[in-house]
Structure 1
C-alpha cells in the first residue's frame, strides 16, 4: 500500500518539472492534452491489470499474484525512469499500471481473508496509513527535488519507489497464503494450520475446526450454485447468492471513491493550485506535500456530506475569483485552499478506506477475487478523467456526485463491520430485499446476536464431536507425544520444570 500511495502521487510532481517537460517535448499550453493523457494512461493500465486479476488471481493465489504484479510494476518503473520519449513514457505508465492494478485487486482480498472479523477494519486503516504515508512522501520528495535542476529532479523521485518494491520481494514469499483460497482449491490441511496460526490456537481447537467447516460449507455452496461470467453478463445468478447485487455494491463503492473527486486532489493538486488558485510552482508543491488524509455505512454517509459541502464552497469561491471586476479575487482564491484540505479530512474518514475493503467483504468466496477485481477496475476506469479547462464550473460536478452518494449508501448498502465473511454470505442467503435501511441486521454496526449465537453453538457442537471422535483424540495424543519428544533435549537444563509446565 505504501508503493501504491507513492506511485499514485509521484507523477503529480513530475508533470510540473521543467526538465521532464523539455525532454518529452511537453512544454507549453498547446501540449496540455497529451500531458494529461500520459498522466491518466496509468489508470488505463491499472484497469486492465485489475481485469487480469479475474483469472490469474484465482489460479495463482493471493501471494503469487502480488509477486507477479510487483514484477510487472518494476518493469514499468524502469521504463519511466529511463525515458527519453513520449512513447517510452506512455509504455512505462501503462505497464506500471498493469502491475499496480493486479496488486490493488489482490492485496485487499488477501488482507480480508487472513483477518479476524473485529480486526479487518483496523487493519485496513493501518494499510491506508501506509498508503497515505507513501502518497505524502512522494509529494515531499518531488518538492525537495524541485530545487534541483536537470534530469535528477524527476528521474530520482520515480526511482525512489524501488525501496518499497525491494521490501515486497523480500517479505511476500514468507507470508501465509489465504486459508480461504486454499480451502477453495482443496488444500484443507494447510488451510487449517494457517487458521490455527493466525488465531494462535491448536489446529484441533473447536474454534479452528468451526472456522474451517464454515469456509468449507461456503466453498461447497458456491461450487453447487456457481454461475459463469456469461450468465452474469446476461443478468443470471444462482438463487440465494445475490451475486450480481454484491458485485454492483462492491463496484459502486469503488466508483464512488473516484467520482468523489479524489482524482483532482491527488494527481493534479499542484496543477490545480497553480492554474485555478494562481499559486507559484514552489508554493503549490509545498501545499501538496503538506496535505495529509486522516484515517463503513455511516462513515461513507458522513464523508459524502463533508465532501459535498467542501466542493460547494470551492465552487463558490473560485467563481468569484474568476468574476471580472470583483475586487477580492486573490483573497477568495486563496480561501478555497482551506476547503481542499477539509475535503481531504472527510475523504479520509470514509471514502479513502471503505471502498477498498467493501468489495472484499461483500462478495462470496467464489466471487471474492472477481468481485474485488471488478471493484478495482471500476476505481481505475473512473479515475481516467482529465481536468478540462472548465474553471470554477468543473467543481460543480464533484458537488453533485458527493451529494448523490448520501441517499445511495443509506438506501442500498448493508453494514459489513464486525461480521465474519461467512456471516455476510448468510445475510445474503436470508435477505433478498435490495433496500436495507429498515433492516436492523443490515444496518447495525456491531455483529448481530443471531450470528454470535450460531457460531457459539457450532463451537460447542464441534467440541463434543472431537471428544467423541476416536480419530480426533488419537491426533491429539500424537501431538502431545510429539511435544514430549521436542522437550526431551531440554530436560537436563530445566530440571524437569519445563515438562511440568507443559503438562
Structure 2
C-alpha cells in the first residue's frame, strides 16, 4: 500500500507503508551519482585500453587526458549552482533534473563522431552528475531513518564500485568487438542509473529538514513518521527527532536573522571552520593517488609488467570487486570505530603502498626483459592493496563526513564546495596524469606519496569525531551549549512552537536544558 507524502514541490510522492522499504528506495535513488561516477571511471579505464577507441579518436597522451578529464569541466561549471538548486527547488526535484541532464550527456557521448563531441557529451554528463552529487548526499543525510543514518549515508558512496564493477564487466565483454560499438555500447549503458532514479523518485519523501526550512513543520512531522515509524506520528523516536530538528533550525534562523545564503559559508569563524573541515574530504580523497588506478589502470599495469589488453580488462573487473568488499568493510569501521581513526589508518597505508609501488615500478622499468614474475605480481598486488586501503576510508567518508560537519543552513552549499575541492584538482590531475606517467614514470608515485604525509597531519590536527551523534548533536561540537541556552530563551518568549514530550533519545541534552531552566 502507498500513502501520499507531502513534498512542498511540484514533484508528488506516494510512499510505501514500510519504513524499511522507504529506506531501501531512498538509498537506491540517492546512489545514482556515485554509481554513475563509478561506472564512468571504470568505463574510461576499459576504453583507454581498447585500440578501437584510442584509434578512432587518434588519441595522444594530451587528448586522452582531455577526453577523460572533460567530465570534470562540467562538474566545475555545474557546482556554481548545485547548492542553490538543492536549497531552492528541493532535494528530490534537483535529483530529477540532474538525471535528465546526465542522460542527455550520455547520449551525446555515446554518439560522438569526434573528440569535440565526446568532450561536450562528457561535460554535460559531469554537469548533471554534480547536481546529483550535492543533492543526494544532503538528501540522504537529512531523510534516512535515524537508526540507520550513518550506515545508509556511508554506503551511499560504496555504490561507486557497484557502477565500476558493472562497467568493468560490460567493457570486458564488448572489448572483443571489432567496431566502435565496443565503446559506444558500454557508454550508452551508463544511463541505466539515471533511469532507475527517475522511476524511484515518485515513491520516496522529501527531506523533513528541508520542509521545516520551508515553513512546513507539520509536513516534516508526517515525513519523519513515514521514514521512522510506519506513519505513527506519536512514536517517541519521531517526536524526539522532530523537536531536535525544529529547535535547531529555529535557532539557526534566530541567530542569522535572515534566510540561508551563500555568505553563511564564511560569515562566522564557526562557519568557516565547518566549511574547511567539511570540504577537506573532497581534496584529500582526490590527491590520495587513486586517480591513476581509477582512470589509467591500463598504463599503471603496463608499467608494472602486465601488457596484454585482455588481461588488463580482467584486472579491472577483479580490482573493482576487491574495492567493493573493502569499502563495505570501511563502512563498518567508520560507523563502529570512528571517522577520524579510519581516515588516519587508511592514509598511513596509502602512503606506504604508493612508496612501494614507486620502488617496484622503478626496478621493473630498469630491466623489463629481465624482470621476474615475483616482481611483476608483487607490484600488481601493491596496486590492489593501495586501492583497497583507499576504498576502506575515502569511499564511505566522502558521502558520510561532510554533511555531518555542515549544519542545515550551509549543508547544500558546503557539500557543493566539497565537490569543488574534489573536481578542480581532479580536472588537473586526470588531464596531466598520462603526461606525467609518460615522462616521470615511477617518480609520480613518490611525489603523490609525499603529499599524502601532509594530508595525514592535517586530518590528525583538525578533524573532529562525529561517531554516535545525531546531526543536531554534532552542532554542539562547534556551537557548544550556547545553542540550548538560546533555545530556552526563545521558548520563554514564545518564539518556538514545538511538541512537548520526553527526550528519551537525548537524555544528556535534556538534563542540561532542565538544569539551565532551574538556574
Q: Same fold (TM over 0.5)?
A: yes
Q: Mark the runs of 5 or more structure 1 residues left unpaired by the alignment.
A: 433-449, 462-503
Q: For 1:73 and 1:281, locate their aligned partners in 2 and report how far apart those are by CA, in whole Å.
A: 30
How do 1:28-43 and structure 2 match up within 5 A? 31-43=60-72
Which moves more between the two structures, 321-330 or 252-261?
A: 321-330
- Please name the residue that 2:84 is paired with: 55
How do 1:70-81 and structure 2 match up within 5 A? 70-81=99-110
Give the CA deviation at 1:375.
0.7
Contact 1:49-1:98 within 8 A present in 2 as well:
yes
TM-score w.r.t. length of structure 1? 0.81
TM-score w.r.t. length of structure 2? 0.79
Contact 1:116-1:420 within 8 A present in 2 as well:
no
Give the CA deviation at 1:458.
10
- Please name the residue that 1:132 is paired with: 161
Q: For 1:125 and 1:229, locate their aligned partners in 2 and report how far apart those are by CA, in whole Å.
A: 26
How do 1:324-339 and structure 2 match up within 5 A? 327-328=370-371, 331-339=374-382
The correspondence for 1:315, drawn from 358, 365, 375, is 358
- Please name the residue that 2:506 is paired with: 452
Deviations 1:137-165 (CA, angstroms, capped at 9, x unpaired): 11121112111110110110011122222
Contact 1:117-1:419 within 8 A present in 2 as well:
no
Give the CA deviation at 1:326.
9.4
Q: 1:177 to 1:360 in 2, by over 3 A?
A: same
Contact 1:276-1:391 within 8 A present in 2 as well:
no
Q: For 1:268 and 1:323, locate their aligned partners in 2 and report how far apart those are by CA, in whole Å.
A: 21
- Please name the residue that 2:252 is paired with: 222
Q: For 2:406 and 2:264, locate their aligned partners in 1 and report how far apart those are by CA, in whole Å.
A: 17
Q: 1:14 to 1:377 in 2, by over 3 A?
A: same
Task: Say whether residues 1:115 and 2:165 are aligned partners.
Answer: no
- Please name the residue that 2:234 is paired with: 204
Q: For 2:468 and 2:117, locate their aligned partners in 1 and report how far apart those are by CA, in whole Å.
A: 47
Count of residues in correspondence between the two structures: 436
Give the CA deviation at 1:327.
4.5
The higher radius of gyration belongs to 1
Q: For 1:430 and 1:457, locate their aligned partners in 2 and report how far apart those are by CA, in whole Å.
A: 15
Contact 2:42-2:316 within 8 A present in 1 as well:
no
Give the CA deviation at 1:134.
1.0
Q: CA RMSD in A?
A: 2.6
How do 1:157-236 and structure 2 match up within 5 A? 157-200=186-229, 202-226=232-256, 228-230=261-263, 232=265, 236=267
Q: Mark the runs of 5 or more structure 2 residues left unpaired by the alignment.
A: 1-30, 328-338, 483-503
Q: For 2:402 and 2:212, locate their aligned partners in 1 and report how far apart those are by CA, in whole Å.
A: 20
Q: Secondary structure at the match of 1:54?
A: helix
- Please name the residue that 1:495 is paired with: none
Deviations 1:316-347 (CA, angstroms, capped at 9, x unpaired): 11111122699537653442111110112211
Q: 1:420 to 1:178 in 2, by over 3 A?
A: same
- Please name the residue that 1:343 is paired with: 386
How do 1:458-469 and structure 2 match up within 5 A? none
- Please name the residue that 2:334 is paired with: none
- Please name the residue that 1:262 is paired with: 290
Give the CA deviation at 1:228.
5.0
- Please name the residue that 1:20 is paired with: 53
Q: Secondary structure at the match of 1:13?
A: helix
Q: Secondary structure at the match of 2:345?
A: helix
Which moves more between the two structures, 385-394 or 272-281?
A: 272-281
Deviations 1:363-398 (CA, angstroms, capped at 9, x unpaired): 011111011111112112222213112100000122
- Please name the residue that 2:403 is paired with: 360
Task: Say whether residues 1:251 and 2:282 are aligned partners.
Answer: no
Runs of 4+ in structure 1 deviating by more than 6 angstroms, as ranges, are 458-461
